[in-house]
A and B are shown apart, each in its own frame.
Chain A
Amino acid sequence: MRHGSRLAFAAAVMLAVAACSPSAASSPPGGGAAGSISAKIGAVLSLTKGAAVYGTSQKNGLELAVKDVNAKGKVSIQLVIEDDASDPQQGITAFNKLINQDNVVAIIGPTLSNTAASTDPIAQQAGVPVLGVSNTAAGITAIGNFIYRDSLTEGQVIPQTIKQAAAKYSLKNVAVIYGQDDAFTKNGFDVFSKALAANNISVVDTETFSKGDKNFSAQLTKIIGLKPDAIVASALANEGTAIVSQARQLGFTGPIIGGNGFNSPAVIKNGGPAAEGLVVGAAWNSASASPENQAFLTAYQAAYGAPPDQFAAQAYSGVEILAAAIEAAGKAERDPIRVALATIKNLPVPLGSFSFTADRDADHPPVIQIVKNGKFQVLQ
């Protein structure tokens, strides 16, 4: 009796699961009203916990872009945003929901490379194109042919940053500090190390810290005692700002060179005068005079009352790239969008003239910036 009911229960569960998962035939509906292709697109962003500062910015960028794209009338996007709470586990849940329940035709995100490494294989298997708009770690697009990104990798930006900084400041010895418990900052450190070696710059000291640290005085005291020409930091915005401020408090006056995590107006705003002389390589030149960029700056400022950061620019561009692909495909279906993405060439977006590499990574030149008079300016 007990066995029987248990079996019946198991069978019921299996039936329910089978009923819930979409059959192969029920591909999501595409093609909308005359002239406009309607497409349901998912986005997985870190809106809470550690990376929330980036996710919030991305959400603004996405929503603004959807409004602008829909206003043009060629593609009509319905955006479904899910929060992954900066956690790969929740990212997986969000991907599964978007793919199986919302039947989206493409997914933007997730915010963190860490999360992307867990979530993107799911999309690859389900045959849903993914466009990363902030993943900069190596190997993300190697997950499969459905995975694209419009964000330059650390491997594309950092070597250029070190090369230009080395020439400008004739660097010989530097000290490095990086976050050891995060895939993004650790990967940044690896790329920095390679770039430093390639430019014959020796590393006098390497220090680490952990996520959420507020106090870096012990590491920085040690570094400053060794009198390096510059400090190289691979950190996220909050820790990065604290590192810069505390290094200046402890009397360090040389240049500080940062990775992608420093690409946020918050670093300048919160760092104040301490941020002066900070050198950061970026995927987006905020001062670019291109009409797409200027229009984006104006629209963003009007919508949110604050200037956008690189993450908003990449998110905004991501929606425009997807919209262009949907338009090129002529229908909002998963596989045709993937095919059309590869054909994107020299598309004018706020990031610049945008193309994908053969490996589905972003292809456009980085810009090396320095903080001067409270603003990111191009390093010359």
Chain B
Amino acid sequence: MNIPQQLFNGLFVGSIYALFALGYTLVFGVLDVLNLAHAAVFTLGAFFGLVAVTTLGLPVWAGVLVAFVGGGCVGILLDRVAFAPLRRRPDTHFAGLISSLAMASLFIAFVQEVFGPQDYVFPPGTFPDVALEIAGARIQLIQLVIVAVSVGLMGWLSWLVQRTRFGRSLRAVAENPRAAALLGIDVERVNAQTFFLSSALGAVAGVLLGLAFNSVAFDLGASIELKGLAVIVVGGMGSLVGAMVGGLILGLTEVFAVAGIGSTWRDAIAFGLLFIILIVRPRGLFGRPRLRRD
């Protein structure tokens, strides 16, 4: 078994899961709602990047930037349309699930209407086609860059949340929105910013996945939807560190389930392991007891 290669395969796909889950869990951590449109934003992000690179002829880093900003704007739209009108209602959790699911269907229908069902690829030469041999593993340069961008974005988000003024108001809203409002924090503004960040990260994860496997199609998000959800549950709902660690664990487990046991059992083993983690730690790896009671 080529262990270095499989190790890298796992870390690589895990870092994309982690980036996707990071945005997913951020909204949950701050607003206590699940945004089921996150996978649709992921798909939209991939298409933003694709259009930027193919139609507008921008370089690939600009494509990622376009996905970041475009995804963020979609996030604000999501917040305004699907979540804000429901915020004061007692059933906001379930209503939010449904309305975000509706938005997801709209986004995907839109993508399919505009782009059709076929697979799109980035034009040849979008990224230098260089392969490196490291300790017996054959690694594409683009894969290394993607891992670096993912890790960089995770670090940046942690810094933002832990060390900045914005992060402090974000944590205050997460703790208790009513108290935060009394302290003079503009809660609606923080909500919108959270959605911007969350969706921007989701969209970047989408364009990175599209670049990595050079394939962008309307069903891109379907492959990651459930995995992202599983990752944030196992990491501990709302925990940023948990999402990152959970993503890497899922990526590595998948790869080694295939390498060691057989691909037929991949999902059974990966999700089985997540299940065991939840039995041992019901709140997830990094989950804290619930503080918020509003």
Contacts and interface: CB of A to CB of B under 8 A. Distances in A.
A266 B121 CA distance: 10
Contacts of A194: none
Nearest to B142: A249
Interface residues of B, number: 38
Interface string A47-85: 111101101100000000000000000000000000000
B9 A217 contact: yes
A351 B215 CA distance: 31
Interface stretch (A15-23, A239-247, A353-361, A364-372): A239-247
Contacts of A52: 112, 116-117
Nearest to A220: B9
B46 to A, nearest CB: 11
Contact of A241 (B119, B140, B219, B220): B119
A219 B258 contact: yes
A208 B264 contact: yes
Nearest to B224: A214
B2 A225 contact: yes
Contacts of A53: 117-119
Contacts of B219: 49-50, 212
Given A48-B117, A221-B9, A221-B259, A214 B140 contact: no
Given A209-B263, A218-B258, A250-B138, A266 B9 contact: no
Given A214-B220, A222-B258, A250-B138, A207 B118 contact: no
Interface in A242-290: 242, 245-246, 249-251, 266, 269-270, 272-273
Nearest to B209: A214
A221 B6 contact: yes
Interface in B1-54: 1-2, 5-6, 9-10, 12-13
Interface string B210-225: 0001110101101100
A215 interface: yes
Nearest to B117: A52
Given A207-B263, A210-B267, A218-B259, A249 B215 contact: no
Contact of A180 (B10, B209, B264): B264
A249 B217 CA distance: 21
Contact of B223 (A214, A241, A269): A214
B138 A218 contact: no
A56 B6 contact: no
A102 interface: no
A17 B205 CA distance: 51
Contacts of B223: 212-214
Contacts, number: 96
Interface in B80-128: 112, 116-121, 124
B108 to A, nearest CB: 10
A218 B117 CA distance: 27
Contacts of A47: 117
B254 interface: yes
Nearest to A270: B121
A210 B120 CA distance: 20
B66 interface: no
A48 B266 CA distance: 28
A293 interface: no
A180 B209 CA distance: 23
Interface in B248-265: 254-256, 258-259, 262-264
B96 to A, nearest CB: 26
A237 B215 CA distance: 12
Contacts of B160: none
Given A218-B10, A238-B215, A270-B214, 13 more contacts: A49-B219, A208-B262, A208-B263, A209-B263, A217-B13, A221-B2, A221-B259, A225-B2, A245-B214, A246-B213, A249-B131, A266-B118, A270-B119
Interface of A: 47-50, 52-53, 55-56, 177, 180, 207-210, 212-215, 217-219, 221-222, 224-225, 237-238, 241-242, 245-246, 249-251, 266, 269-270, 272-273
4 smallest beta-carbon distances between A and B, as pairs = A52-B117, A218-B258, A218-B255, A217-B9
Interface of B: 1-2, 5-6, 9-10, 12-13, 112, 116-121, 124, 131, 138, 140, 209, 213-215, 217, 219-220, 222-223, 254-256, 258-259, 262-264, 266-267
20 contacts: A47-B117, A52-B117, A53-B117, A55-B117, A56-B116, A177-B263, A207-B258, A207-B263, A208-B264, A212-B219, A214-B220, A217-B255, A218-B6, A218-B254, A218-B256, A218-B266, A221-B9, A222-B259, A225-B2, A272-B121
